[in-house]
Structure 1
């Protein structure tokens, strides 16, 4: 009869995420993971397998607990146009507070591990698809209620927003300047508005940003 695990899987996966996120897949050793997760080597191998298997499990957990939670919360509490903007507000704030310049774990994984690991690539692809579909749902709903311009097709706008998301996350690692990140976002939001705000953020944005500075 198998013994019950003496640790909470979610907690140790959170710890593994922090370890991989800080050092990257290749530079993270099993000793690093054991120390960070606070479990024995035998427990790690029995529960998760080797380092690559643990990495995939950590990626999937990150996708569900971080990105998944944010999307559900924003779509359930805000109007479509506001949900898009608030999504980026939170991303920029997260980037500015990232003192170690770790960037986005999913974007990092897309560049480092995914090209050499089909299973990791599948998780990254799932993230990109979910992000694009989130933007698509919001744009389509906003076009229906009149808060987002219909001048551009919804699928094109959703792909543009996905590109803006990835661009902001990469730039934040190399040059984490608020003005730069906001300048990347500003034209995309203006395009959603059809130029109605003449390139300025809608009122929700400066109010939230100023309150957090």
Structure 2
């Protein structure tokens, strides 16, 4: 019988995710994770494995607790524009979002890991593709119900939206002023609304 853990796993993963998110994979050491979580290095290794295994747990945690949660709040009975405005408001235009200047954990990791951590890079890319499939499924509902103008399909919208969102996340890391992000989003929404019937 497995020994019951003496800590809140979700809380600990959230703390470690925030650290990886802010500092990146290469700059994060298990010693530092021990300090921010209050767990010994042995406890971290026993619970999650080595640094590589910890990072994979963090990516899974991010997908489940950040990406998936937001997507589940979308309502295809509403217009695409209403749903996307909700996403932007909650993610990028919320002044209380302390994680805004961290960018996107997935995008940050894909850029960082591409040249020196091919195994982890492939893992993150695979998880990102899962997210893309979920976004595609969302837009596909509008295509199936013929709420898109001719010549625009779910694949186009998925790539357009994700590219724009990733760009905003990169801008937010540079501590772009709130109003600058808001202006970019307003312009995007004007273009995007033209795709809807």
Q: How many angstroms apart in 2 are the aligned matches of 1:114 and 1:66?
A: 23
Within 5 Å, give how 1:1-213 maps onto structure 2.
2-75=2-75, 79-81=78-80, 82-94=82-94, 97-98=97-98, 101-145=101-145, 147-194=147-194
Higher RCO, 1 or 2 (CA under 8 Å, sep at least 6)?
Answer: 2
Q: How many angstroms apart in 1 are the aligned matches of 2:61 and 2:134?
A: 19
- Does structure 2 retain, via aligned residues, the 8 Å contact 1:110–1:124? yes
- Does structure 1 retain, via aligned residues, the 8 Å contact 2:92–2:100? no
- Alignment length (residue pairs): 195
CA RMSD of aligned residues (A): 2.7
Shift of 1:66: 0.9
- Does structure 1 retain, via aligned residues, the 8 Å contact 2:91–2:100? no
Q: How many angstroms apart in 2 are the aligned matches of 1:130 and 1:79?
A: 24
Q: How many angstroms apart in 2 are the aligned matches of 1:178 and 1:189?
A: 16
Shift of 1:121: 2.4
Structure 2 CA distance for partners of 1:149 and 1:137, relative to 1, 3 Å: farther
Shift of 1:35: 1.3
Structure 2 CA distance for partners of 1:153 and 1:95, relative to 1, 3 Å: farther
Shift of 1:148: 4.0
Residue deviations 1:140-167, cap 9 Å, x none?
3334556543342321121010100100
Structure 1 spans left out of the alignment, 5+ residues: 197-213
Q: How many angstroms apart in 2 are the aligned matches of 1:87 and 1:12?
A: 26
Instruction: Give me the TM-score of the superposition, normalised by structure 2.
Output: 0.82
- Does structure 2 retain, via aligned residues, the 8 Å contact 1:83–1:138? no
Shift of 1:178: 2.5
